Structure 1
Amino acid sequence: MPKMKTKSSVKKRFKVTATGKLKVGQAGKQHGMIKRSNKFLRNARGNMVLSEPDARIVKQFMPYRKK
């Protein structure tokens, strides 16, 4: 049986933590910073952990991820 392919878009956007959760960059920080409030920009710094229902969907596209 051939290997299953991982979605290229998923492997670029998500990283699996040691406990099996998914790390993802905060959305809304690519452009349009002038119209965003300082509070939004402050809270959108760094990475976030994906919620469990969303992570379940994304993990379908990562067949060889760490458990």
Structure 2
Amino acid sequence: MPKMKTHKGAKRRFKVTGSGKVLQQKGVRGNKINRPKRSQQKWGKDQPTSRANREHLKVALPYGLK
């Protein structure tokens, strides 16, 4: 059976923790003008993804999710 391919865009955007949680960075980082300080503080931190995206991520990251 051939190897499954990892989606390269998903590999760069999502990170799987040791406990199995999937983290992502928010996508508002390109527009830095006129953003509140509170939202700018969250840019450096990874946010957990929703459970609705889990089925899509199983296909995109076959070796990252169990």
By the TM > 0.5 criterion, same fold? Answer: yes
Could you tell me which residue of structure 2 aligns to residue 25 of structure 1? 25
Moved more, 55-64 or 1-10: 55-64
Query: So what's the TM-score if we normalise by structure 2?
Result: 0.78
Secondary structure, counterpart of 1:9 in structure 2: helix
Q: Which runs of 5+ in 2 are unaligned?
A: none
Query: So what's the TM-score if we normalise by structure 1?
Result: 0.77
Cα distance in 2 between the residues matched to 1:38 and 1:52: 28
Secondary structure, counterpart of 2:24 in structure 1: strand
Alignment of 1:24-43 (within 5 A): 24-30=24-30, 32-43=31-42
